[in-house]
Structure 1
Amino acid sequence: MSEFKAQARPDRASQQSDPKISRHRAEPAKPASAWSGLTARIPSLGRRAAVVATACTVLVGVGAAGQAADQATPSAAEPAAATADAGQTLSFDKTLISALPAPSSASIAPQSSSQAAAAKAATVKAAAANAAAAKTAAAETAAANAAAAKTAAAANAAAVAKANAAQAAAAKAAAAKAAAAAKAKTAAPVALNDPAGAQAYAASKLGSFGWSADQMQCLKRLWTKESEWRTTATNASSGAYGIVQSLPAEKMATAGADYRTNYRTQINWGLDYIKERYDSPCGALNWHLAHNWY
């Protein structure tokens, strides 16, 4: 304000005679019109809010000063100066307003109902898509977890079944083995050392080989020297076994599998051996007496 007054005061006489100044004196400075123009051009909400706020502050001060100048009665000394100030102030206001940037149509144009509906529909669609994606992901995760649990349960059940089968097979095998051992123990023949019974059996067999009863005396003496007619007699040095002292003992298996426990099997094999090698029990005894073996 002071700068503009300094420029206007030296030519006050000419300003008083100027019809333009007289017109400015007759008409007030119209700060309200300048304010109305400013508010019409400045958007209520825009991207240049800071610049508009600053301009409004300046214009409010200018308008207040103009109204004060209109209400006050100028003195006789400075009638032309007041008029010049008002005109200069209005010119400044117009210059400032014209320098302000025009608001963009995007900042002041209200959003149409169709645009708002489209935006709302897009938001709803995006939310629905997100919800559907989350639901699908949750379903896939649940399905994967269920499949993994089912697979683990099946594997566990198979392992348990396999272990149970193995245990059952082991128990069955153990039971079979125990039963076989018990059966073998029960069925295994017990070697019977019965010299009298063995001699009676040998005497009963002489006739089947064509020998007379007197051959029994030679046979009794022969096998008494060899084994004392004991079924389990064993020669510690040679390993000869049984009543007939077979060497090795397995030779008597041709007469029966029970050659180690049954004196009858041993006697049957021994009589065949004497018949083949010495023709009679007395012939076998004579050889034994001469060689100490037969």
Structure 2
Amino acid sequence: MAHLLRIAAVTAASCCAVLIAAPIATSDPFEPVLSADLGSSTPALASKMIARLIVPPHHFAAFDSIITHESGWNTFAINPASGAYGLGQALPPEKMSSHGWDWQFNPLTQIRWAYDYMNLRYGSPEAAWVFWQAHHWY
């Protein structure tokens, strides 16, 4: 599994690099498909691709909803009011160190932590999402 995750991470990074480097024809009268915004969403896309390999398909929609609302899939997201950090907005952020020394910058570590947190605290990502919808936090 670790080998597959490394391949997925490299593939995601390679695909994103190709997309960013792809030339855009300026003489075309139509809007370009690629925009400057792609660069900022590239890490989020890569993180989401990695999550699809870790989170079982039947849990992914709820997991995705929570991560999207909590951090917008930004590995470095910080809540200025609480100090919560990362994809799953861990509070305190150091809790994620239980899943790896690289918790501050590795989306794989943060995804594993968030998925385990949802299962341990709520029983499943679906139950965590139900709670989130009622309280706007989890």
TM-score by length of 1: 0.32
Aligned residues: 97
Matched, 1:226 2:75: no
Letter in 2 for 1:206: V
> How far is 1:274 from its partner?
0.7
Partner letter of residue 288 of structure 1? W
| Structure 2: gaps of 5 or more residues | 1-41
Q: Which residue does the alignment assign to 1:270?
A: 114
- How far the C-alpha of 1:206 sits from its partner, in A, is 2.2
Unpaired stretches in structure 1, ≥5 consecutive residues: 1-192, 208-212
Q: Which amino acid aligns with 2:90?
A: S
**Aligned twin of 1:217:** 61
The 2-side partners of 1:206 and 1:226 are apart by 17
1:44-63 alignment, distance < 5 Å: none
Identical residues among aligned pairs (%): 38
Superposed structure 1 runs of 4+ greater than 6 Å apart: none
Query: What is the distance in 1 between the residues matched to 2:48 and 2:99?
Result: 18
Deviations 1:17-39 (A, max 9, x none): xxxxxxxxxxxxxxxxxxxxxxx
Structure whose residues are more often helix by fraction: 1
Q: From 227, 243, 246, give the equivalent of 2:87.
A: 243
Match of 2:50 among 201, 205, 209: 201
The higher-RCO structure (CA 8 Å, 6+ apart) is 2
| TM norm structure 2 | 0.67
Displacement, 1:202?
1.3
- Partner of 2:32 in structure 1? none
Q: What are the within-5 Å matches in structure 2 for residues 169-180 of structure 1?
A: none
The letter for the 1-side match of 2:74 is R
Asked if the contact 2:74–2:87 (Cα under 8 Å) also holds between the matched residues in 1, the reply is: yes
**Distance in 1 (alpha carbons) for counterparts of 2:105 and 2:66:** 21
